[in-house]
Structure 1
Amino acid sequence: MRPATAIIGGYRPADSGWHRLGVGWKYLLVLVLIVTPLVLQQPWVTAGVLLLTVACLAGTGLPVRLTLALPWSLLVLLVVLAGFQLAIGQPGSAFVVPGNVLQAVLAARLILCTTPASVLVDALVRAADRVPFLDGERFGLAVGIMLRSIPFLTGAFYDVRDAARARGLERHWIARLSPVVVRAVGFAQATGQALAARGLGEGRPASPPRGQIPRPERPGGG
């Protein structure tokens, strides 16, 4: 599994009930699975919802390495969270806090592994169009750019890390960080140019004062 998809996973076609379920129902069920343990903050709730989520992932029919495998970075984060809660004298939270983080990651895989990204973005655009003062197309564009940026930046970090390790520079943070920053800036510039070429991302032209008709510019700027 690529580092970019090691945490949240990636879409895999199949014929399970989760794959056939409507995207709106998927969003709703995943939201319930994530919010319930966050609100109740009880160990038995976190454990129960976590087991239910694992059962749902098993029901997708997808490989275990895609649905349940955890990268070492996430495992380290969970251990640090549990250790911190123990250090401040909260043994109950030592399970609830990292358990809720793990639950959120696994619940996200339920929808991301069973639904194409284009379908997810289209559903968000339709929902955003119903919200006053919110441009659904621009909102969907922002989400699409985010979904494209995360794998790119994550992959850039791992590529630079591997290249630095091959040159014996794995402990030189400047040698590891600088190429990632350069790639990120280049990606942002390329994205901005692509948006500008399509007339997106620019401010709307100011409207003339009421009662005045805008005068067309003469050829040659005169």
Structure 2
Amino acid sequence: MRGSAHLLGAYRAGRSPVHRAPLGLKAAAVVVLSAVLLTFRSLPLLGAALLLVLGAYAAARLLPEAWRPLKLMWPVLLLLGAFQAWSSGPAAALLVVGNIVSCVAAARLLTLTTPLQELLDGLVALAGPFRFVGADPERFGLTLALMMRSIPFLLGSAQDVRHSAMARGLERNPRALTVPVVIRAVAYAQQTGDALAARGIGEAAGTPKAPEHQHADGRGIIAE
């Protein structure tokens, strides 16, 4: 669906060293890079970080993808940079905008080179130690999986509806832009809920099921 490519991107299959690197190593690199950039704010460090991230993209043979977030973020970055330049000077504006771009690009490379299921398994494993406080890592992973599927669908729906409204000359009509998206979102949520219920996911533990009876002729099952 159009518009389904979101900020962090979708997995791109490959056999590069970046693709084959363990998830833990890539995640640690993103965390360390972000922490260093946000702690030691300097232009030389920012330049080195950008070169490092671009080098990683080149090693993964995904260099064109490095600039994709800018297409989505440029209005926010422009406003933020203008405010920082006005309040703190051009150097501060360059640091703030550059740090954001570097961190987002690094996180995007992680998702581009790691299959979604591997990412979810890693997050579930990370949440494992919280079992002792009543957390459910599997449910946490399911929630993340649903979120990762829903966001591209909703973005794609919004863009499809906008294109359809533009084709009919209704791009300035709020109802034409919002009502179809809401209807699609509700339908998607109902379908997802039905699919989960059919697999017995989300039912409270110990909830008694309705007694079932079968017709004498064997046609179907009736639940009282």
TM-score bracket, normalised by the shorter chain, equals 0.7 to 0.9
**Residue in 2 that maps onto 1:112:** 111
| Alpha-carbon separation, structure 1, partners of 2:44 and 2:169 | 47
The answer as to whether partners of 1:7 and 1:71 remain within 8 angstroms in 2 is no
Percent sequence identity is 40
Q: Give the corresponding residue for 1:36.
A: 36
CA 1:203–1:101: 2 relative to 1, 3 Å: farther
For the structure 1 residues 32 and 218, does the alpha-carbon distance in structure 2 shift closer, same or farther, using more than 3 Å as the test?
Answer: closer
Normalised by the length of structure 2, the TM-score is 0.82
Query: Structure 2: where are the runs of 5+ without partners?
Result: 214-224
Query: In structure 2, what is the equivalent of residue 212 of structure 1?
Result: none
How much has 1:165 moved relative to structure 2?
0.8
Please tell me whether the aligned partners of residues 3 and 160 of structure 2 are also in contact (alpha carbons under 8 angstroms).
Answer: no
Alpha-carbon distance in 2 for matches of 1:41, 1:184: 42
1:86-114: CA deviations, max 9, x gaps?
23344333112222221122111221111
Q: Counterpart in 2 of 1:81?
A: 80
Assess, with a 3 A threshold, how the Cα gap between structure 1 residues 218 and 5 changes in structure 2: closer, same or farther: closer
Please list every run of at least 4 consecutive aligned residues from structure 1 whose deviation after the TM superposition is greater than 6 angstroms.
217-220
Cα drift, residue 205 of structure 1: 4.2
Number of residue pairs aligned between Structure 1 and Structure 2: 209
Could you give the per-residue CA deviations for residues 191-222 of structure 1, whole angstroms, max 9, x where no partner exists?
A: 2222222222234448xxxxxxxxxx9999xx
- The answer for the alignment partner of 1:209 in structure 2 is none
| 2:20 counterpart letter in structure 1 | R
Aligned counterpart, 2:19? 19
Q: How does 1:142-221 map to 2 (within 5 A)?
A: 142-205=143-206
Given that 1:30 and 1:110 are in contact with CA atoms closer than 8 Å, whether structure 2 keeps it comes out as no
Cα distance change of structure 1 residues 2 and 175 upon mapping to structure 2, 3 Å threshold = closer
Name stretches of at least 5 consecutive residues in structure 1 with no aligned partner: 207-216
Which residue identity does 1:8 align to in structure 2? L
CA contact (8 A) 1:10 1:113 kept: yes
